[in-house]
């Protein structure tokens, strides 16, 4: 009797399993297939990214080798090609290298364009600010001081990676424009802040010592004109001659023997 009951329970469980499989089996199989496909796609793209990264690294080394060998044109073309297909890090670095080559060739406009493009491609703020600061230096060489201030001012904010270098740029620009008050303020900050690197602090101290003190910057005291109190001279007898006594020559004639 017990065996019969066990067989019936087994049959019922099998029927339940079969019913569940009929209902959910296709869905379970589909999910399993999707998991396998997703794993395959992930591994494929990961492998592809690794291949691209390796290829980009080799291309970058090749471009640097060309540059070291004096083939600036070939290096510039290769750096530009890398920037079009590489990840943001390598792309931005390649554009900065191409910018340096353009600058060496005297093409400042192209060098500035490539630096701006690099700043837009980079993903990290350190790299973005580095490209922007190099662009500010380039504009400073061109004496385009308003453009320099527009680029360097955001970089000089507290906490930015190149805050102190940007402050130095703003100080020199102010000095070039004759704004000695702003220049002194920026250089004083750099000379006294404990976080400023020693070499930058030394430059700031030297600049402070060389800033001319103009008369316009020194307040002039207001001088009052004193009132003149002219009195008649006192003679030897202790009395001042009066108009009634006549002129000095007349008095001398009277005193003469």
Q: Pick from 123, 146, 167: which residue ends a domain? A: 123
My answer on whether 110 and 142 are in the same domain is: no
Whether 122 contacts 89, CB under 8 Å: yes
User: Has residue 4 been placed in a domain?
Assistant: no
Q: For the domain that residue 113 is a member of, what is the CATH number?
A: 1.25.40
pLDDT for the residue 15: 60
My answer on whether 113 and 181 are in the same domain is: no
Band of residue 144 on the pLDDT scale cut at 50, 70, 90? confident
Range of the domain at 56: 15-123
My answer on whether 76 and 43 are in the same domain is: yes
Whether 74 contacts 98, CB under 8 Å: no
User: Has residue 233 been placed in a domain?
Assistant: no
My answer on whether 159 and 193 are in the same domain is: yes
At 82-134, the pLDDT tens digits run 888 888 888 999 999 999 999 999 999 999 999 999 999 999 999 999 999 99
Integer Cα distance of 166 and 132 in angstroms? 10
At 155-187, the pLDDT tens digits run 999 999 999 999 999 999 999 988 999 999 999
User: Has residue 101 been placed in a domain?
Assistant: yes
User: Has residue 225 been placed in a domain?
Assistant: no
My answer on whether 139 and 197 are in the same domain is: yes
At 228-257, the pLDDT tens digits run 444 444 444 444 444 444 443 344 344 443
My answer on whether 19 and 114 are in the same domain is: yes
Q: Quick one: DSSP state of residue 61?
A: H
Whether 121 contacts 91, CB under 8 Å: yes
Number of structural domains, the chain?
2
User: Has residue 243 been placed in a domain?
Assistant: no
My answer on whether 113 and 160 are in the same domain is: no
My answer on whether 19 and 113 are in the same domain is: yes
Helices and strands (H and E) in the chain: how many = 10, 0
My answer on whether 135 and 145 are in the same domain is: yes
Integer Cα distance of 38 and 48 in angstroms? 15
Whether 157 contacts 163, CB under 8 Å: yes
List CB contacts of 141: < 8 A, sequence separation 6 or more.
108
Integer Cα distance of 98 and 92 in angstroms? 10
Q: Pick from 123, 156, 186: which residue ends a domain? A: 123
Q: Pick from 123, 155, 175: which residue ends a domain? A: 123
My answer on whether 24 and 103 are in the same domain is: yes
User: Has residue 252 been placed in a domain?
Assistant: no
pLDDT for the residue 37: 60
User: Has residue 6 been placed in a domain?
Assistant: no
My answer on whether 52 and 74 are in the same domain is: yes
User: Has residue 228 been placed in a domain?
Assistant: no
My answer on whether 103 and 196 are in the same domain is: no
């Amino acid at each position: 009797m017990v065996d019969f009951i066990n067989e019936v329970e087994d049959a019922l469980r099998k029927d339940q399993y079969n019913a569940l499989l009929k209902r959910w089996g296709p869905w379970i199989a589909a999910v399993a297939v999707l998991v396998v496909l997703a794993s395959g796609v992930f591994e494929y793209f990961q492998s592809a990214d690794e291949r691209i990264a390796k290829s980009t690294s080799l291309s970058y080394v090749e471009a640097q080798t060309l540059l070291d060998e004096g083939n600036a044109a070939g290096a510039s073309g290769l750096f530009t090609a890398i920037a079009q297909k590489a990840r943001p890090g390598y792309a931005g670095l390649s554009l900065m290298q191409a910018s340096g080559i353009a600058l060496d060739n005297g093409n400042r406009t192209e060098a500035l364009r490539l630096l701006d493009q690099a700043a837009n491609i980079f993903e990290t703020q350190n790299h973005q600010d580095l490209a922007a600061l190099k662009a500010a230096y380039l504009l400073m060489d061109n004496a385009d001081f308003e453009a320099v201030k527009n680029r360097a001012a955001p970089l000089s904010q507290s906490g930015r990676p190149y805050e102190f270098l940007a402050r130095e740029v703003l100080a020199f620009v102010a000095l070039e424009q004759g704004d000695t008050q702003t220049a002194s303020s920026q250089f004083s900050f750099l000379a006294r802040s404990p976080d400023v690197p020693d070499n930058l602090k030394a430059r700031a101290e030297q600049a402070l010592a060389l800033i001319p003190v103009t008369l316009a910057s020194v307040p002039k005291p207001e001088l009052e004109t004193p009132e003149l109190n002219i009195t008649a001279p006192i003679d030897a007898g202790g009395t001042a001659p009066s108009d009634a006594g006549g002129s000095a020559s007349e008095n001398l004639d009277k005193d003469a023997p």
